[in-house]
Amino acid sequence: MSFWEYANPRRFMAFTDRVMGPAFVLAAVALSVGLVWGFFFTPDDFRQGSTVKIIYLHVPSAFMAINIWVMMLVTSLIWLIRRHHVSALAAKAAAPVGVTMTLIALMTGAIWGQPMWGTFWAWDPRLTSFLILFLFYLGYMALWSAIEDPDTAADLTSVLCLVGSVFAFLSRYAVNFWNQGLHQGASLSMDAEENISDVFWFPLLVCLAGFFFLFLALVLLRTRTEIRKRRAHAITLRERAA
C-alpha cells in the first residue's frame, strides 16, 4: 500500500483512529516517567543548582518547536506540489501545537535565564530567531483564519511556511553561525562527547519521546477535526445550493 493512499481523507480517518489512542498513551507514559525522573530523581548541577531540572521541559519543547515547523514545511510542500488536502490540513493542525511548544521554550528559557544569566531576555541570535519563529507561528494561524476560501488559505499559508523555515533553521543553528550572545551550544548532539552527563541525558531522552508522542497524538486529533470541519462545510454549501 502506498503512503499516498493516506491522502484520501477516508483512509486517513480509518488509519488514525487506530493510531491516535496508542500515541496518547505513549505520550502520557513517557512524559510522566521522564518528568518525574527528571524532577525527583536527578541531582542538582554543580553550577546551575536545581535549575538544571528545567531542561526536561525547555530542550524537548524547543526541539519540537523547530521540528514541528519542519513538518509543516514538508506538508505545505506536498500541498503545493500534489494538492492533497489532508497535507494542508495537517500543517494547519500542527501550528497551534507548535506555538504552544515555542511558548514553553521561550518561557522556560526566560525563567532559567534570570538566575543564570541575570536577565530574562537578551537579543541573542538564538533567542531572537526563536521569538521570530513564534511570531511566524502566530502569523501563520492568523492567515488561515483571515481567508475564507480554504484552498487559497492553504496556498498562502504554505508560502508563509516556506519563508518562516529560514527562522526555524536559524533557531537551530544560530549558535553555530554567530559566536556571540548568551545562549550556550546545542544540548542535543550526535557527538557523544558534546552531550550532557548520562544522569541528565537519559530522563531527557524519555521527555523528548514524550513530547514527540504528544505532538503526534495532537496533530492526528487536530487533523481529524479539520477534515470533519471541511466535510461539514461542504454539506452546508450543498444545502444552500439545493
For another protein, the binding residues (CB under 8 A) are 31, 35, 39-40, 44, 49-51, 53-54, 57-58, 61, 96-97, 100, 103-104, 107-108, 111-112, 114-115, 214, 218, 221-222, 224-225, 228-229, 231-232, 235-236, 238-239
Query: What would the DSSP string read from start to end of 92-156?
Result: HHHHHHHHHHHHHHHHHHHHHHHHHHSSS----HHHHHHHHHHHHHHHHHHHHHH-SSHHHHHHH
Q: Which is nearer to another protein, 39 or 202 (CB)?
A: 39
Determine the residue type at 237: L
* Least gap, CB of 211 to another protein (angstroms): 9
Grid coordinates standing for 161?
511556511
Q: Spell out the residues 6+ positions from residue 121 whose beta carbon is closer than 8 angstroms to its own.
A: 110, 113, 127
Question: What is the closest distance, in whole angstroms, from the C-beta atom of residue 30 to another protein in the complex?
Answer: 13
Q: Which of 101, 45, 50, 52 is nearest to 72 (CA)?
A: 101
**Between 29 and 80, whose beta carbon lies closer to another protein?**
29
- Closest approach, Cβ 53 to another protein, in A, equals 5
Report helix, strand or coil for 2: coil
**DSSP readout, 195-215?**
SPPHHHHHHHHHHHHHHHHHH
User: What's the min distance (Å) between Cβ of 222 and another protein?
Assistant: 5
CB nearer another protein, residue 170 or residue 223: 223
Backbone angles phi, psi at 182, to 5 degrees: -90, -30
Which residues sit opposite 45 in a β-bridge?
49
Query: Least distance to another protein from the beta carbon of 177, Å?
Result: 28
Q: Which three cell numbers stand for residue 180?
A: 556571540
Separation of alpha carbons 151 and 157, rounded Å: 10
Min separation Cβ 202 and another protein, Å? 17
Minimum CB–partner distance for residue 229 and another protein (Å): 5
* Of residues 144 and 170, the one with the C-beta less far from another protein: 144
Nearer to another protein, 57 or 78 (CB): 57
40 vs 123, which CB is nearer to another protein?
A: 40
**57 vs 209, which CB is nearer to another protein?**
57
